[in-house]
Amino acid sequence: MYDVCVIGSGWAGINAAITAVNNKLSVCLIEKNTLGGTCLNYGCIPTKSLVASAAHLYAANHSTEFGIDLKEIKLNFTKVLERKNKVVSRLHLGLEGLIKTKKIYLINGEAKIINKNQISVGKDIIEVKNIVIATGSRPRQLSNLKFDSKHILSSTDMLNLDKLPENILVIGGGVIGCEFAGVFSQMGSKVTISEILERILITEDREASKKMEIAFKKQGVKILTKTDFATLNLDEFDKVLLCVGRAVNSENLGLEAAGIATDKGKIVVDKNLMTNIDSIYAAGDCIGGYQLAHVAAYEGKITVENILGKNKEPDYSAVPNCIFTHPEIASVGLSEAAAGEKGYNTKIAKFNFLALGMAHVKGEPEGFVKLLVNSENEQILGATIFGIGATELIAILALAIRNNLDVTALSETIFPHPSLSESIAETVHNFHAN
């Protein structure tokens, strides 16, 4: 009998399994598809590999600004895909090695929960003391528009194109849609974004969203807001990328038969990430909430800590959200609207990259840092960064918010010069100057 059986080997499942073995628990890990789940195989890693290739192409095309003359700049899309596959393969091999080193027993097959102490995989019955469900999510399709992997594509399909499309329609101006739009427009595709709401990246700071729209238009991306895709002729586009969210993977797990509660497919958990069945936990995308790999990893660890009796509740007060467009966008903590709903009186501190030396050195002076500060005690409640390095810099502010730091704590911290991180120091200095 295993102490813990984890169903799903994405970032939630892997981190649950590793946390368990690190705490001297015996672990069985069941995966019906590919080790590493969505993030490693169809999401974070391969998409950011494409982002990296697009960034190198952008740098090459702007090399003359830095005094470097290149004779010919040409995209080799086949090699872009080969590199993407090599990156995924290398990390996959590393993960396989880690599983073996940690002595996690890996089973390839489809799991079905019989009860809180038994799971079937094919004809085999596995005896367990605790279960962690970490089955993730998949691209969501619509009742009137379904994936065919030829013309109507999912984000997974986009990673496996054999050639660069000339003309792409992206349905959905959220994070995934905007990242793909940015990559393929930089690589030479003609890209159109169709968004039914009033602006792209609706969950982000309005100023950052509007600046991203301006940046996209400069890159040649056509943006159609307040537009229902049904009003467009999809046949005018070589490829149509449907990016309208993700559906949780909770089917065929035996949840209903085992008595595990769900809500519209999402697995229902309490404040400790336990389902309504004692000793069965769930983490990551399958419970809804933040569908982010880093949150999934965090939740996966917590499930095992609670199996060990720590009675720990996840703290979502400082979840970084990162968008790998060009320029980048990152945010953490409360938005102005959310802070208002909670009754906070707030002040805004802002600093523009136009006054940042390193941004000019790197040739990327378009951007800003914006902090949302509690007027009463100067505690930092939220932050948005737009511009170069945003997805790395946001970690500083996530740390500040998670530890209830105020602007004085940051203003008294010495930041290196010249650096992009100085933008945070300058933002808090602006706060005290006003």
Residues serving a catalytic function are: 417
Report how far residue 19's alpha carbon sits from residue 37's, in angstroms, rounded to the nearest whole number: 18
DSSP class of residue 402 equals H
| DSSP character string of 271-294 | TTSB-SSTTEEE-GGGG-S---HH
Q: Which amino acid is at 403?
A: N
CB 188 within 8 A of CB 212: no
CB 129 within 8 A of CB 83: no
Beta bridge partners, 330, equal 322, 385
Q: How many CB atoms lie within 10 A of CB 43?
A: 23
Q: Write down the H helix ranges in 23-153.
A: 37-41, 44-61, 77-101
Report how far residue 103's alpha carbon sits from residue 412's, in angstroms, rounded to the nearest whole number: 46
Interior angle at CA 388, CA 346 and CA 15, nearest 5:
80
